[in-house]
Structure 1
Amino acid sequence: MISLRFESELAAAPDTVWRRVTSVEGIADEMAPLLRMTFPRGIRALPLDAFVPGQRLCRSWLLLLRVLPIDRSDLTLVELEPGRRFLERSPMLSMAFWQHERIVAPSARGTTVVDNLMFRPRLLPRALVRAGVALFFRHRHARLRRHFGKGAK
């Protein structure tokens, strides 16, 4: 099992950050231009009010450079603290196990966003997948800091 952690301080209120990181527009912006995650038509945010632990929210394709399908995810939340935290365990074609926890917490600087990841690749070498996932989440956090600004020191 591979574990990774990413943390960013943002210059915005936690509720503002939460709305952004659970919206389809915000997710798309974090991933752009490297990946695009598809969502069914009409979904503008993760349906957190209709959340059933462990039940698939939707099936999404991950598109490299926004066009080339490289993976599929059955987006599934298993825990949710609205406005603060979600825990996703989504079956994926490329991963024997995928878990993504995102925490949005107030801080003296504005908001701290933490992503905790645990995963086990199916086919590709662990070192290659670890490096790719780390690069992608560093990119996502850079996009968050660009959008919200870095928290004051």
Structure 2
Amino acid sequence: MSHLVIVEHESVVAAEPADVWTRVTDPAGINDELAPVLAMRMPRRMRGTTVDRVPIGMPLGRALLLLFGVLPVEYDALTIAELAPGRRFLEKSSMLTMRRWEHERTLTPAGPGRTRVHDRLTMELRVPLSRLPYGNELARQIVTRLFAHRHRRLARGFVGRRVA
């Protein structure tokens, strides 16, 4: 029987929330966070736009995930379920390996020129992965490490920038 796996990660970035929001909702910023481990090829419907400008609750298509930017290993059938521009988005999707994938990202001010970035990931593996003895724990470890990596990359993107 499958069960939900929940992973949370939080960090503080040395940038204003508006600047962080611009970066985390832009496909180039998303890919910078994932690099060099993964690259995400956005669905046609999203090309030329950002996460905060897509229709809410409407499937956007499959975003292909490429290991090291070249080898297709997964897809994300993207749907932005909720959006609070400048503060929060909630993606509710499915993937090749996951029956349920939810990514909630929240930005809150953390002092002058600082933003707290909080990610909450909720996932449910598909059969047969969910039946593996340590399948859920392996998924938890992979997602935990991936989002720690993403947060480091996000913070690094603002190093050396002047705060107005």
Q: CA deviation at 1:2?
A: 0.8
Partner of 1:140: 150
> Unaligned stretches of 5+ in structure 2?
130-134
> Unaligned stretches of 5+ in structure 1?
none
Partner of 2:101: 98
- Verify: 1:13 aligned to 2:16, yes or no: yes
Determine helix, strand or coil for the equivalent of 1:51.
coil
Determine which of 96, 119, 125 is the counterpart of 2:123. Answer: 119
Partner of 1:34: 37
Is the CA contact (8 Å cut-off) linking 1:22 and 1:45 kept in structure 2? no
CA deviations on 1:61-107 (whole Å, 9 max, x unpaired) are 11111111111111101100011000001111110111000001111
Q: CA deviation at 1:142?
A: 0.7
Partner of 1:49: 53
Q: CA deviation at 1:149?
A: 3.7
Query: Which stretch shows the higher mean deviation, 37-46 or 105-114?
Result: 37-46
RMSD value over aligned CA atoms? Answer: 1.8
Aligned length: 149
Amino acid at match of 1:43: R
- Superposed, 1:52-91 pairs within 5 Å as 52-53=56-57, 55-91=58-94
Determine helix, strand or coil for the equivalent of 1:33.
coil
Is the CA contact (8 Å cut-off) linking 1:47 and 1:57 kept in structure 2? no
Determine which of 132, 136, 139 is the counterpart of 1:129. Answer: 139
Q: CA deviation at 1:7?
A: 0.7
Q: CA deviation at 1:47?
A: 4.8
Partner of 2:132: none
Query: Which stretch shows the higher mean deviation, 40-49 or 88-97?
Result: 40-49
Percent sequence identity over matched residues?
44
| The structure with more radius of gyration | 2
Determine helix, strand or coil for the equivalent of 1:12.
coil
Is the CA contact (8 Å cut-off) linking 2:43 and 2:60 kept in structure 1? no
